[in-house]
């Protein structure tokens, strides 16, 4: 809510962020008083994972907040640009966000607008939660309900909340009184999206989204991204329980579950984010016809791979004949038949031309090296494709074999890489 500007504090010589409140809030005296009270509470928070509020100022009748400036991007932008987060990275960010929410809950402050757009992540992986208190600048609806919970009236305001509606708790959509467990539900939605690149609750309208939140259970993240452990599915399932009594008692309890799962992961390399295409996950709307012979042949190749005699298969042809549609349909069927199948995609860059055709393979292999089969894949690559290993130094540096691999592959060419692939 509002506009944010990068500015310089000339008195202290520091860079700050200034958030100017929207005109509608400045014209509503009750909302301004509520905002000032909540901003004062937020300014009392002193936590490394919460954006610090330096001051609440007023100039020419306009209220604004002076905040700590963070060099980073929102979690929302990170997911949209880079894809689903690697599991270790996701758990590290999630634990920091949980710690921030717990610090707020300890002083009785509920965020009410936990979403990826309100979480900043620095290049070094530090997570910062922002907009404490601002989420409560809404019109009251009645004395016997939570007057600061977002309601249907607020959801129709221009520019507000298609983004926010998808993260609301069931009790929040009904305008009921909220406690810390509402933030836990919203936080569960955030983790779900960061893990799968898709929202747990969707719909064509805000009413449809709210109905889904109240009545439907989302697909477990592990079904959308098979390498996610069952423990992660259970964390999300508990956080997204419809009845708040069935959720975690506190964010601290949820943070402990995230830390426990993080401690079970081996290896230090966090890996690159993975782009998971939603159309490969959801059931298709229309039937796919006309390519059964090709699909049967691809399914036979997959069966050979499962039996241990796999091969590299290329789908070739002129542009526009349906190669992508054919591969997408094959992947849909394969994921349905084999839920544990790992799918990783590498992206082609047309500007590189055919001379750099191996780059998509590097990207796909790099993503797989962050999954549960990392050690087995790494061992196979060291034996059969040492040149490829040198192109992924972060994945092999911990093994102590990188120097040897580099010596063995001096003078290697792209042609050799293609032969090894």
Q: Identify the active-site residue in 63, 92, 99, 113.
A: 113
Helix (H) or strand (E) holding 3: strand 3-9
- 136 burial level (CB within 10 Å; 0-12, 13-18, 19+): buried
Q: Using CA atoms, how far apart are residues 132 and 40, in angstroms rounded to an integer?
A: 10
Q: Which of 414, 92, 113, 28 has the alpha carbon at shortest distance from 259?
A: 92
Helix (H) or strand (E) holding 59: strand 53-59
Helix (H, G, I), strand (E, B) or coil at 64: strand
Token duo for residue 145 = 């309900």
Helix (H, G, I), strand (E, B) or coil at 299: helix
Q: Which of 11, 2, 5, 18 has the alpha carbon at shortest distance from 56?
A: 18
- Asked whether the beta carbons of 184 and 247 are under 8 A apart, the reply is yes
99 tagged catalytic: no
Buried b (16+ CB within 10 A) or exposed e, 73-111: bbbbebbeeebbbbbbbbbbbbbbbbbbbbbbbeeebbb
DSSP for 9-53 reads ETTTTEEEEEEEPPHHHHH-HHHHHHHHHHHHHHHT---TTBPPE
Q: Which residues contact 300 (CB under 8 A, 6 or more apart)?
A: none
Buried b (16+ CB within 10 A) or exposed e, 24-36: ebbebeebbebbe
* Phi then psi dihedrals of residue 36, to 5 deg: -60, -40
Task: Find tokens 């699909």 and name the residue.
Answer: 295
Sheet holding 62-68, edge to edge: 3-9, 14-20, 62-68, 53-59
Instruction: Find residue 58's DSSP bridge partners.
Output: 63
The residues that are catalytic are 113
């Amino acid at each position: 809510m509002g506009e944010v500007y990068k500015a310089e504090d000339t008195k202290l010589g520091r860079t700050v962020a200034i958030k100017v409140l929207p005109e509608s809030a400045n014209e509503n005296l009750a909302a301004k008083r509520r905002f000032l009270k909540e901003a004062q509470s937020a300014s009392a928070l002193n936590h490394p994972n919460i954006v610090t509020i330096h001051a609440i100022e007023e100039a020419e009748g306009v209220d604004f907040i002076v905040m700590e400036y963070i060099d980073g991007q929102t979690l929302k932008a990170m997911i949209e640009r880079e894809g689903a987060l690697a599991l270790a990275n996701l758990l590290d960010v999630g634990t920091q966000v949980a710690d921030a929410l717990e610090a707020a809950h300890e002083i009785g402050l509920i965020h009410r607008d936990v979403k990826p757009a309100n979480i900043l992540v620095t290049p070094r992986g530090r997570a910062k939660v922002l907009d404490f208190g601002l989420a409560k600048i809404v019109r009251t609806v009645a004395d016997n309900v939570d007057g600061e919970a977002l309601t249907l009236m607020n959801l129709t305001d221009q520019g507000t909340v298609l983004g926010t509606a998808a993260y609301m708790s069931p009790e929040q959509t009904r305008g009921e009184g909220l406690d810390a467990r509402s933030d836990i539900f919203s936080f569960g939605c955030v983790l779900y999206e960061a893990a799968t690149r898709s929202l747990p609750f969707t719909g064509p309208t805000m009413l449809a989204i709210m109905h889904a939140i109240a009545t439907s259970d989302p697909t477990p993240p592990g079904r959308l991204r098979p390498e996610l452990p069952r423990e992660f599915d259970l964390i999300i399932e508990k956080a997204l329980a419809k009845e708040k009594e069935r959720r975690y008692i506190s964010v601290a309890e949820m943070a402990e579950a995230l830390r426990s799962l993080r401690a079970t992961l081996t290896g230090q390399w966090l890996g690159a984010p993975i782009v998971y295409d939603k159309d490969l996950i959801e059931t298709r709307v229309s039937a796919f016809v006309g390519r059964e012979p090709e699909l049967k042949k691809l399914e036979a190749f997959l069966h050979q791979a499962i039996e241990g005699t796999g091969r590299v298969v290329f789908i070739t042809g002129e542009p526009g004949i349906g190669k992508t549609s054919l591969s997408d349909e094959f992947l849909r069927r394969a994921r349905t038949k084999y839920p544990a199948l790992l799918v990783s995609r590498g992206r082609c860059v047309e500007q590189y031309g055919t001379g750099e055709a191996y780059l998509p393979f590097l990207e796909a292999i790099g993503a797989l090296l962050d999954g549960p089969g990392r050690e087995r894949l790494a061992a196979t690559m060291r034996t059969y494709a040492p040149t490829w290993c040198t192109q992924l130094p972060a994945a092999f540096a911990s093994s102590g074999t990188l120097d040897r691999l580099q010596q063995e592959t001096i003078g290697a060419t792209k042609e050799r890489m293609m032969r090894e692939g």
